[in-house]
Amino acid sequence: MNYYWLSVDDDPNVNWVIFRANPHRTLRERYRYLACSACGRVNELDAIRSGIDSDVRIRSKFDYFTSDDGFKCVNNRGRDILERCGAKGLEFVSLPGGKHFVVLAQHRVEVRRRPLGKREEQVLDLDAIARDPNLIASARKAVLIESDACGMEFHGKCDACSRYVESLYWPKLRFMALPEDTSLVVAPDISFEKTWSSETRLLASEDIVRALQRAGLRGLEPLVAE
């Protein structure tokens, strides 16, 4: 059975769930107690499960899309299609307004990591630039990059919470123990870090993906998992 990442089409709408939509992408006050004192990151799942501010508004031209803070979201039609197509193991967290949900996978599959090596690289210091945009040409910092046999690269580990500033690429299928039930949609137990938050990535069997495509799930851009 082939597997696919449930990736999304580009959506021009700006949607934030746990951050405020301002140029400094500020974490909403209610989640500040969850933030790492060193890097400022929060565990997104803990945050979303602790509640969502009532003024959060989501809008998309798609049934299935990603918020700017990395959550996979659906509208009512998208949820209905996922359920009708037999995609199992999904949890739908209601967003204010009653029209959208954050989609979470209940089953996390282990990604077996096998470190290949480490190297140091100079990168833009985005935090320094956020504090002072004049530094855009000059602010650099050294980050430690770990490459891994699972197919990914992990950049800049936080000493306090052990999360990375960024992780690149996709884990290979043979490094994951997939469930026998091919109707289960799962998420790897690894964090896909993007500059300020991590992104939810969902993995589904070809049967489920074909059913979702036949049902016309708008916004789905499946990416074959290798």
Q: Which residues bind Zn ion (CB under 5 A)?
A: 36, 38-39, 158, 160-161
Decide: 121 and 159 in contact? Cβ < 8 Å: no
**CA 205 remoteness from chain centre:** 19
Beta carbon nearer to Zn ion, 167 or 205: 167
As measured in angstroms, the least distance from the Cβ of 2 to Zn ion is 36
Beta carbon nearer to Zn ion, 80 or 127: 127
As measured in angstroms, the least distance from the Cβ of 217 to Zn ion is 35
Beta carbon nearer to Zn ion, 34 or 161: 161
How, if at all, do strands 186-188 and 107-109 pair?
parallel
Decide: 7 and 225 in contact? Cβ < 8 Å: no
Torsion sign, CA atoms 218, 207, 7, 103: positive
As measured in angstroms, the least distance from the Cβ of 5 to Zn ion is 26
Beta carbon nearer to Zn ion, 26 or 162: 162
Give residue 91's identity as a one-letter amino acid code.
E
As measured in angstroms, the least distance from the Cβ of 197 to Zn ion is 12
Beta carbon nearer to Zn ion, 39 or 225: 39
Beta carbon nearer to Zn ion, 128 or 158: 158
Beta carbon nearer to Zn ion, 47 or 74: 47
Q: What is the dihedral of CA 172, 174, 177, 181, to 10 degrees?
A: 90
As measured in angstroms, the least distance from the Cβ of 97 to Zn ion is 32
Neighbours of 48 (CB within 10 A): 20
How, if at all, do strands 192-194 and 153-157 pair?
unpaired
Decide: 48 and 71 in contact? Cβ < 8 Å: yes
As measured in angstroms, the least distance from the Cβ of 142 to Zn ion is 17
> Which phi and psi (to 5°) does residue 119 adopt?
-150, 160
Give residue 67's identity as a one-letter amino acid code.
S
As measured in angstroms, the least distance from the Cβ of 35 to Zn ion is 8
**R_g of the chain computed on alpha carbons:** 18
Alpha helices in 119-205 (DSSP H): 126-131
